[in-house]
Structure 1
Amino acid sequence: MYEDALARVDLFSALDKKELQALAKSCQERSYNAGATLIAQGDSGVGLYIITSGNVRITKSKEAGTEETLGALGAGNVLGEMSLLDDLPRSATVTAVDDVKALLLPVWEFRTFLRNHPDVALKLLSVLSRRLRKAENTHAE
């Protein structure tokens, strides 16, 4: 069931059906009421979120206590995928605009999955390499 949602995540685009099914076993369904914070700027990353219903607003705190709205996302969108790979603090806050349902792939579950499926790590490196090349080409123009 969750493997379809995972298959739409760019980071997991190289995984086969069996790998996606194994990874999906680590996902948890979460519900958030309107106004609830899914991700807080500056916190450590708990994992990746896939919004299955509802909408969220993404904001970033600025100097002097001001807040900038970076955008809004809805069902099918992914939040925090890089937290699966690094331990850097969250760069923005994500708040539920209305009631939100999401799948959470906790970082500790993902890392256990990688230890048990080391070939997946190579596939992820390939995806990240393509992203880096694309970003470098975009900045070179």
Structure 2
Amino acid sequence: MNEDILSRVDLFSTLSKKELQEIAKNCQERSFSAGSTIVSQGDTGVGLYVLKSGKVRIIQAQSPDGAEEVIGSASAGDVLGEMALLDEQPRSATVIAEEDVTALVLPVWEFRSILRSQSDIALKLLAVLSRRLRKAEAR
């Protein structure tokens, strides 16, 4: 079932059912109550979050005085923090649960272990990232 949710994530959209099952078995389901902080800007990213239910608000500190600005929201089916799987940069925003949230969490160490053992997955993900980069450069 979780592989169906993962298949709708752009990053994983080109993976086979078997490859999605491999990733899904390494995900952990986590629950967050309304008002709780899921990730904090500046923290080290420990993985990717796929929202199964609920809604979150995404905020970012815009100035040294700590003033925050809402930069977006996300709900069931959306993904957060996928870049944490690929680089070691700190989180670029804070994510707060507006409602009770259930999410699949794919820890970075599990993801990297999968990539080391299954190079086909890595090649498919590189193709997706290359398309994203081309789109960004075209803008």
Q: What TM-score results when the alignment is normalised by the length of structure 1? A: 0.95
Distance in 2 between the 1:82 and 1:62 partners?
20
Match of 1:117 in 2: 118
Letter of the aligned partner of 2:125 in structure 1?
A: L
Q: What TM-score results when the alignment is normalised by the length of structure 2? A: 0.96
Match of 1:45 in 2: 45
Distance in 2 between the 1:7 and 1:48 partners?
14
Q: Render the CA deviation track for 1:19-64: whole Å, top value 9, x for unaligned.
A: 0011110010000011111110000101000111111000001222
Q: Which runs of 5+ in 1 are unaligned?
A: none
Q: Which runs of 5+ in 2 are unaligned?
A: none
% of aligned pairs identical?
64
Match of 1:71 in 2: 72
Distance in 1 between the 2:47 and 2:85 partners?
6
Match of 1:32 in 2: 32
Q: Render the CA deviation track for 1:63-87: whole Å, top value 9, x for unaligned.
A: 2221100111111110001110001
| Aligned alpha-carbon RMSD (Å) | 0.8
Match of 1:137 in 2: 138
Distance in 2 between the 1:102 and 1:24 partners?
12
| Runs of 4+ residues over 2 Å off in structure 1 | none
Distance in 1 between the 2:66 and 2:88 partners?
25
